[in-house]
């Protein structure tokens, strides 16, 4: 196990020498220290993917702080998902934007492992809505050409979840940050 050694002033390999007293010896210098691992707890987590939500758990230490925007790994029935915290339900029943793990009843998250990007595809006077499922880390760029159903559309603007509007050529955003992508039909390219 790697622990911080005061003598070595670094994180070094330690060996357990007395389990009942949680005593560990540094393998570099021989210094003995007591290390009591902090208790971890499972917190109820509701993770949403579009219109569907499922209940899972997040494993955290009691003293950890959680706040909106944190990315956490959620254990669900079929495995694991990566989620971004959108809200916290406190033990008092109230909602909050940040809190200590021991004071939480549930964590609400948005699935960012696989997200739906909404597109508005413009062709002359007709605008067609389109939904694209993609990993949350996929980057989109103003000026990029997308091939959708055999037609090419150039990205002209992107509205982000935080309210910003990207419209300068070369501006980029990850799929997990995007509210809507606007693209124009490209003829003969």
Domain boundaries, the chain: 2-34, 40-111, 114-185
pLDDT in tens, 38-81: 788 999 999 998 788 999 999 998 888 999 999 999 999 988 99
pLDDT at 172 over 70: yes
The pTM is what?
0.67
Give the 3-state secondary structure of residue 19.
Answer: helix
pLDDT in tens, 111-154: 998 888 999 999 989 999 999 999 999 999 999 999 998 899 99
Q: Where are the beta strands (DSSP E) in the chain?
A: 2-5, 10-18, 23-26, 32-34, 40-49, 52-61, 65-67, 71-76, 79-90, 95-96, 98-100, 104-111, 114-123, 126-135, 139-141, 145-148, 151-160, 165-166, 172-174, 178-185
pLDDT bin (cut points 50, 70, 90) of residue 188 is low
How far apart, in whole angstroms, are the C-alpha atoms of residue 100 and residue 112? 23
Q: How much of the chain, in percent, has pLDDT values that exceed 70?
A: 99
CATH class for the region spanning 40-111? mainly beta
């Amino acid at each position: 196990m790697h622990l911080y050694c005061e003598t070595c002033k670094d994180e070094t390999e330690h060996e357990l020498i007395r389990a009942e007293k949680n005593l560990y010896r540094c393998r570099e210098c021989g210094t003995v220290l007591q290390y009591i691992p902090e208790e971890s707890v499972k917190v109820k987590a509701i993770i949403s993917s579009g219109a569907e939500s499922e209940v899972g758990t997040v494993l955290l230490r009691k003293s950890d702080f959680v706040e909106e925007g944190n990315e956490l790994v959620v254990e669900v029935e079929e495995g694991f998902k990566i989620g971004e915290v959108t809200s916290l339900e406190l033990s008092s029943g109230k909602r909050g934007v940040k809190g200590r793990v021991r004071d939480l009843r549930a964590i609400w998250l948005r699935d960012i492992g696989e997200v739906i990007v909404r597109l508005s595809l413009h062709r002359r006077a007709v605008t067609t809505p389109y939904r694209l499922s993609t990993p949350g880390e996929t980057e989109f760029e103003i000026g990029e050409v997308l091939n959708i159903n055999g037609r090419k559309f150039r990205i002209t603007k992107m509205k982000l979840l935080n309210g910003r509007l990207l419209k300068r050529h070369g501006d980029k955003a990850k799929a997990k940050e995007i509210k809507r992508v606007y693209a124009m039909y490209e003829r003969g390219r």
